[in-house]
Amino acid sequence: MINKYSNEPLYSQLKNIIIEKIEKGEYPSGSKIPSEQELCELYDISRPTVRQAISELTSSGYLYKEKGKGTFVSNPKTVVNAKSYTGFTDSILDNDMTGERKIISAETLTNRELRLLDDVFSIGNNQVIDFACFNYTGKINDDLISLNTSYIPINLFPNIIEDVKNQKPSFDILRGKYPLLPARTKSTLEVIYTEQFEAQYLMVPPGQALIKISNIIYSKSGQVVEFVISKYRADRCKLLFENSK
């Protein structure tokens, strides 16, 4: 099972063995795998070799550790359909699944407090605009996968903070505002690493990889109505891209 004469490093061989056992169901989701000492004895390899294999499997999301309890098999990654999810699913204005998000904070700020908004909303040098800023987590099937920040101009939606706090569905928020209905987005994707603020809400250690998607949402009239920054746990989800010509 472990070939000590192979060119493949021993820790890599152990990783592949554990992955195979997970995929075959020998190590089901949520189950505890053998301890480091047990793996050392089972495969006749050193503890540093076992630790490196476990560390890499933990970093890649196959395993997770609970202090004082051991190492366990993670649940399968949630598949996120990028065609729809990067567009509007994390949006405040075009998401009726209010139960799928948990509002962390809702406050008012101006473009002078966050210069990035000047470029996104094409604000002139002398203009000062108030924005509703929401921080909230997102779930799919009760699985926490994202931390999101949404910026919405208050002059377009004067009651937006109260409406969101009251879990008002987006079709009610947008009622009678046909020109402001979300119609298209422009998105960018990059890999970033978790900072302390994000770590506490996503329940991951600082420095863990995240998938960051920034969405500028345009209305039917071509006006920018919302700017959303979403940060997904790379260890808990994978993006599905499906296109046709």
Residue 4 covered by a domain: no
Residue 161, both tokens: 């903070």
Instruction: Please indicate, yes or no, whether residues 65 and 123 belong to a single structural domain of this protein.
Output: no
Give me the count of residues in the chain.
Answer: 245
Of 227, 105, 235, 55, the residue nearest 156 (C-alpha): 227
Residue 106, both tokens: 């809702």
Residue 58 covered by a domain: yes
* Coarse DSSP helix, strand, coil percentages of the chain, rounded to the nearest 5 percent: 30, 35, 35
Instruction: Please indicate, yes or no, whether residues 69 and 82 belong to a single structural domain of this protein.
Output: no
Residue 133 covered by a domain: yes
CA–CA gap between residue 183 and residue 221 (Å, rounded): 9
At residue 46, the pLDDT reads 95
Instruction: Please indicate, yes or no, whether residues 24 and 69 belong to a single structural domain of this protein.
Output: yes
Residue 18 covered by a domain: yes
CB 227 within 8 A of CB 204: no
Give the least confident one: 92-96, 184-188, 189-193.
92-96
Query: Binning pLDDT at 50, 70 and 90, where does residue 95 land?
Result: confident
**DSSP string for 145-207:** EEEEEEEEETTT-TTHHHHHHTT--HHHHTTT-GGGSEEEEEEEEEEEE--HHHHHHHT--TT
DSSP character at residue 100: G
Residue 152 bridge partners (DSSP): 132
Instruction: Please indicate, yes or no, whether residues 82 and 191 belong to a single structural domain of this protein.
Output: yes
Place of tokens 């190492």: 71
Taking 90 as the threshold, does the pLDDT of residue 241 lie above it? no
Residue 2 covered by a domain: no
Instruction: Please indicate, yes or no, whether residues 110 and 57 belong to a single structural domain of this protein.
Output: no
Instruction: Please indicate, yes or no, whether residues 52 and 164 belong to a single structural domain of this protein.
Output: no
Query: Binning pLDDT at 50, 70 and 90, where does residue 78 land?
Result: low
Q: What three-state secondary structure class fits 215?
A: strand
At residue 131, the pLDDT reads 97
Q: What is the CA radius of gyration of the chain?
A: 23
Residue 17 covered by a domain: yes
Cβ contacts of 200 within 8 Å, gap of 6 or more:
none
Residue 3 covered by a domain: no
User: pLDDT averaged over the chain?
Assistant: 87
CATH of the domain at 54: 1.10.10.10
**DSSP string for 39-62:** HHHHHT--HHHHHHHHHHHHHTTS
CB 104 within 8 A of CB 126: no
Model pLDDT for residues 131-189, shown as the tens digit of each residue: 999 999 988 777 788 899 999 999 999 999 999 999 888 889 999 999 999 988 888 88
- Cβ burial of 74 (10 Å; 0-12, 13-18, 19+) is middle
Taking 80 as the threshold, does the pLDDT of residue 90 lie above it? no
Structure-model confidence comparison of residues 13 and 62, the more confident one? 13
At residue 227, the pLDDT reads 96
Instruction: Please indicate, yes or no, whether residues 187 and 95 belong to a single structural domain of this protein.
Output: yes
**Stretch (H or E) spanning 37:** helix 36-43
Instruction: Please indicate, yes or no, whether residues 156 and 232 belong to a single structural domain of this protein.
Output: yes
User: Domain of 29?
Assistant: 10-73
Instruction: Please indicate, yes or no, whether residues 197 and 183 belong to a single structural domain of this protein.
Output: yes
Instruction: Please indicate, yes or no, whether residues 101 and 189 belong to a single structural domain of this protein.
Output: yes
At residue 13, the pLDDT reads 93
At residue 161, the pLDDT reads 96
Instruction: Please indicate, yes or no, whether residues 24 and 65 belong to a single structural domain of this protein.
Output: yes
CA–CA gap between residue 84 and residue 98 (Å, rounded): 17
Instruction: Please indicate, yes or no, whether residues 93 and 158 belong to a single structural domain of this protein.
Output: yes
CA–CA gap between residue 166 and residue 98 (Å, rounded): 10
pLDDT average, residue stretch 46-57: 93
Domains of the chain: total? 2
